[in-house]
């Protein structure tokens, strides 16, 4: 119902603006203020969105627990890199790697040596990527439209899409740097007129792959652009460069550089998740319609018009729009993914859609009736959300201290499947996060319940030397692959809303906050199987 209301609000905003412009055309020249005021108001709204994102950075960066479900695990990756240990070792009860490529962890090391190995450092690095991406949106659209106002609109729309992008861009994740490297690499290729700068741009695009696997699609888009622009013979060099810096280095050096299970976690694990079905296609379509319908329509019109007129002169933004669409489709194939898999798609829809609306506004009848302005209002309206939902509570630090004090009163080790590990105030054991545990065993048609791999990695929780506890955000039976823990633990206390202010940012899935304390009672048939 909320989605239908958002759509209704969006199109109502478009109709109201269009109606006002039409009415204004019948007024005297002195009364024609709407056509002059609306662009100014849109510009102000764009600036306010950017300023709000900057405010969020300060609001979020010192949050004591996890803004996102996996921040604690990502901090473990950084610790591995800081200590020159393999980022992808054999899985153990203390640490199971995630299925992301490693550049974000490696790049965060020099920042951590200065700022400390902590969540604020990882968030600071992510914020740099988000602010850089916002700047690139402004610069790219300003150059494509030769208008600072339209560049500001693009930056404002990108900032307004914070919630649509699952509130990921300023949390401890690689998404913002995937976007920045894809935008910057494409920008350098677009402006380059020499082999040196084209190589630089291509290597920046290859970096997007090393941040996250989906970046490979943007590398391919850059190679297609170079081939169309420079010809097949001249582009052979670039294809070879991309192969060496991407697939060849990945295959030949990945395990040696990043750990013995690098290929397992970054290739074997995620390739099992994909499932093409009507449900996955519907999810992608519904997401685009709900958040980007107007901008997506403008982006498609912008790309299709260029394809029909001069297909051999497609610019890199039109080509990379196709890459972004493919990345969105790939993300959708993982039905358990969060909506951060649509961040590249959303970014390019905003970029190409803003340029498309600018070009659309050049048409005589469109400009006469202000259709492009009405469309812009609708585009911003579709991205509206309640800003209070992404602000962290003022009492979060006090609540965190209370949680740590509570944990220290327990007379045995604690396993927190949704938290993984803390920054250092208390040590959970085991510390294998449920996401990493499930990632290794999930996939279409796979039965994850009571899996021997999971049982083996959680053996210390099943075989404690004395008292032991589990602190869970949700009841244990909510995690099908961990439900067997109920054979060994009973609910000792429902803490209610005591730690409610430690809940992370809103996502596609609600993962709750530390609430359910389970106590070990022993039972069940332990499995000695290993992964």
| The length of the chain, given as a count of residues | 531
Q: Which of 370, 389, 408 is where one domain is finished?
A: 389
Say if residues 403 and 388 touch (Cβ distance below 8 Å). Answer: no
Q: Mean pLDDT over residues 200-208, rounded?
A: 98
Q: Mean pLDDT over residues 508-531, rounded?
A: 75
Please choose, from the candidates 324, 370, 353, the residue with its C-alpha nearest in 3D space to the C-alpha of residue 33.
370
Of residues 391 and 361, the one with the higher pLDDT is 391
**Which band of pLDDT confidence, cut at 50, 70 and 90, is reported for residue 35?**
low
Q: Is residue 348 part of a domain?
A: yes
Q: Mean pLDDT over residues 450-477, rounded?
A: 95
Q: Looking up tokens 């690499």, which residue turns up? A: 185
For the chain, percent of residues with pLDDT exceeding 70: 90
pLDDT at 3: 64
Question: Is 297 found in the same domain as 151?
Answer: yes
**Which band of pLDDT confidence, cut at 50, 70 and 90, is reported for residue 531?**
very low
pLDDT at 527 over 60: no
CA angle 46/161/369 to nearest 5° reads: 55
Per residue in 161-184, pLDDT (tens digit) is 999 999 999 999 999 999 999 999
Please choose, from the candidates 76, 200, 181, the residue with its C-alpha nearest in 3D space to the C-alpha of residue 133.
181
Cα separation, 276 vs 414, whole angstroms: 39
Average pLDDT, the chain: 90
Q: Mean pLDDT over residues 91-111, rounded?
A: 97
Range of weakest confidence among 121-125, 252-256, 314-318: 314-318
pLDDT at 28 over 60: no
pLDDT at 437 over 70: yes
pLDDT at 11: 56
Is-cis flag, bond preceding 430, omega within 30? Answer: yes
Could you tell me the two tokens for 160?
């307004």
Q: Which of 373, 389, 405 is where one domain is finished?
A: 389
CA angle 330/157/302 to nearest 5° reads: 65
Q: Is residue 72 part of a domain?
A: no
Burial letters for 194-229: b for 16+ Cβ neighbours within 10 Å, e otherwise? eeeebbbbbbbbbbbbbbbbbbbbbbbbbbbbbbbb
Per residue in 214-223, pLDDT (tens digit) is 999 999 999 9
For the chain, percent of residues with pLDDT exceeding 90: 76
- The DSSP H or E segment spanning 492 is strand 489-494
Q: Is residue 526 part of a domain?
A: no
Cα separation, 81 vs 109, whole angstroms: 7
Backbone angles phi, psi at 415, to 5 degrees: -105, 130
Q: At what angle do helices 175-191 and 343-360 cross, to 10 degrees?
A: 40
Q: Looking up tokens 């084209």, which residue turns up? A: 198
Q: What is the 3-state secondary structure (H, E, C) of 59-77?
A: HHCCCCCCCCCCHHHHHHH
Question: Is 377 found in the same domain as 420?
Answer: no
pLDDT at 515 over 90: yes
Could you tell me the two tokens for 372?
């492009």
pLDDT at 530: 41
Q: Mean pLDDT over residues 448-477, rounded?
A: 94
Cα separation, 302 vs 523, whole angstroms: 64
Cα separation, 371 vs 377, whole angstroms: 10
pLDDT at 500 over 80: yes
pLDDT at 429 over 90: yes
Question: Is 460 found in the same domain as 367?
Answer: no
Question: Is 356 found in the same domain as 464?
Answer: no
Q: Is residue 529 part of a domain?
A: no
Q: What is the helix, strand, coil percentage profile of the chain, to 5?
A: 65, 5, 30
Q: Where are the alpha helices (DSSP H) in 25-147?
A: 34-60, 71-82, 103-115, 119-145
Q: Is 476 left (phi over 0), alpha (psi -120 to 50) or beta?
A: alpha
**Which band of pLDDT confidence, cut at 50, 70 and 90, is reported for residue 473?**
very high
pLDDT at 25: 55
Q: Mean pLDDT over residues 120-144, rounded?
A: 98
Q: Is residue 88 part of a domain?
A: no
pLDDT at 370: 73
Q: At what angle do helices 343-360 and 316-332 cross, to 10 degrees?
A: 140
Question: Is 167 found in the same domain as 214?
Answer: yes
Residue 43: partners with Cβ closer than 8 Å, 6 or more residues away: 149, 152, 153, 156
Residue 82: partners with Cβ closer than 8 Å, 6 or more residues away: 109, 112, 113, 117
**Which band of pLDDT confidence, cut at 50, 70 and 90, is reported for residue 526?**
very low
Question: Is 108 found in the same domain as 183?
Answer: yes
Per residue in 261-283, pLDDT (tens digit) is 999 999 999 999 988 888 888 99
Could you tell me the two tokens for 309?
């007129």
Cα separation, 328 vs 346, whole angstroms: 9
pLDDT at 24: 53
Cα separation, 147 vs 426, whole angstroms: 53
Q: Is residue 75 part of a domain?
A: no
pLDDT at 236: 96
pLDDT at 30 over 50: no
pLDDT at 31: 46
Q: Is residue 78 part of a domain?
A: no
Cα 130 to Cα 56, 125, 153, 299, 377, distances in angstroms = 12, 9, 16, 22, 24
pLDDT at 19 over 70: no
pLDDT at 517 over 80: yes
Question: Is 175 found in the same domain as 50?
Answer: yes
Q: Which of 389, 409, 433 is where one domain is finished?
A: 389
Question: Is 460 found in the same domain as 376?
Answer: no
Say if residues 96 and 432 touch (Cβ distance below 8 Å). Answer: yes
**Which band of pLDDT confidence, cut at 50, 70 and 90, is reported for residue 396?**
very high
pLDDT at 368: 73
Per residue in 358-374, pLDDT (tens digit) is 998 888 777 777 778 88
pLDDT at 128 over 90: yes
Q: Is residue 414 part of a domain?
A: yes
The domain total for the chain is 2
The strand order across the sheet containing 489-494 reads 414-415, 469-472, 516-520, 489-494
Bridge partners of 517, per DSSP, are: 471, 493
Question: Is 265 found in the same domain as 401?
Answer: no
Question: Is 443 found in the same domain as 308?
Answer: no
Question: Is 17 found in the same domain as 114?
Answer: yes
Of residues 157 and 527, the one with the higher pLDDT is 157
Question: Is 143 found in the same domain as 113?
Answer: yes
pLDDT at 211 over 80: yes
Residue-range definition of the domain harbouring residue 345: 2-62+99-389
Backbone angles phi, psi at 446, to 5 degrees: -85, 140
Task: State CA 448 to chain mean position distance.
Answer: 26
> In the 8-state DSSP scheme, what is residue 416?
-
């Amino acid at each position: 119902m909320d989605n239908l209301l958002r759509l209704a609000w969006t199109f109502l905003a478009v109709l109201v603006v269009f109606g006002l412009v039409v009415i204004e055309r019948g007024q005297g020249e002195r009364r024609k203020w709407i056509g002059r005021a609306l662009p100014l108001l849109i510009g102000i709204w764009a600036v306010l969105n950017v300023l709000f994102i900057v405010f969020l950075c300060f609001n979020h960066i010192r949050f004591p627990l996890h803004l996102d479900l996996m921040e604690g695990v990502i901090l473990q990756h950084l610790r591995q890199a800081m200590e020159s240990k393999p980022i992808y070792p054999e899985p153990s009860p203390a640490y199971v790697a995630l299925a992301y490529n490693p550049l974000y962890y490696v790049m965060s090391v020099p920042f951590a040596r200065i700022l400390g190995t902590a969540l604020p450092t990882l968030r600071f690095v992510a914020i740099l990527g988000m602010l850089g991406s916002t700047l690139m949106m402004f610069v790219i659209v300003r150059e494509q439209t030769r208008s600072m106002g339209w560049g500001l609109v693009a930056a404002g729309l990108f900032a307004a899409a914070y919630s649509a992008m699952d509130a990921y861009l300023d949390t401890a994740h690689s998404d913002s740097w995937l976007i920045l490297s894809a935008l910057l690499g494409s920008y350098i290729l677009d402006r380059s007129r020499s082999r040196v700068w084209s190589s630089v741009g291509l290597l920046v695009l290859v970096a997007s792959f090393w941040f996250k696997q989906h970046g490979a699609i943007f590398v391919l888009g850059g190679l297609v652009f170079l081939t169309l622009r420079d010809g097949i013979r001249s582009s052979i060099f670039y294809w070879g460069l991309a192969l060496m810096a991407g697939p060849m280095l990945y295959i030949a050096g990945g395990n040696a550089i990043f750990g013995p299970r690098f290929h397992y976690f970054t290739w074997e694990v995620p390739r099992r998740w994909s499932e093409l079905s009507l449900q996955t296609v519907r999810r992608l379509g519904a997401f685009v319609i709900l958040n980007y319908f107007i901008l997506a329509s403008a982006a498609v019109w912008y790309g299709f018009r260029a394809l029909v007129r001069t297909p051999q002169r497609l610019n890199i933004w039109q080509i990379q729009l196709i890459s972004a669409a493919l990345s969105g489709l790939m993300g959708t194939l993982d039905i358990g993914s969060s909506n951060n898999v649509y961040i590249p798609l959303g970014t390019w829809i905003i970029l190409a859609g803003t340029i498309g609306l600018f070009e659309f506004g050049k048409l005589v009848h469109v400009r006469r009736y202000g259709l492009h302005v009405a469309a812009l209002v609708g585009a911003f309206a579709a991205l509206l959300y309640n800003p209070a939902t992404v602000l962290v509570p003022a009492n979060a630090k006090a609540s965190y201290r209370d949680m740590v004090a509570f944990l220290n009163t327990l007379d045995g080790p604690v396993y927190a499947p949704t938290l993984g590990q803390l920054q250092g105030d208390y040590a959970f054991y085991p510390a294998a996060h449920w996401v990493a545990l499930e990632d290794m065993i999930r996939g279409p048609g796979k039965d994850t319940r009571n899996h021997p791999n999971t049982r083996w990695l959680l053996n210390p929780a099943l075989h404690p030397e004395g008292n032991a506890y589990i602190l869970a955000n949700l009841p244990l039976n909510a995690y099908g692959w961990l439900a067997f823990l109920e054979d060994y633990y009973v609910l000792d206390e429902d803490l209610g809303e005591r730690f409610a202010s430690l809940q992370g940012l809103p996502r596609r899935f609600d993962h709750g906050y530390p609430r359910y304390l389970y106590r070990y009672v022993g039972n069940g048939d332990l499995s000695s199987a290993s992964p």
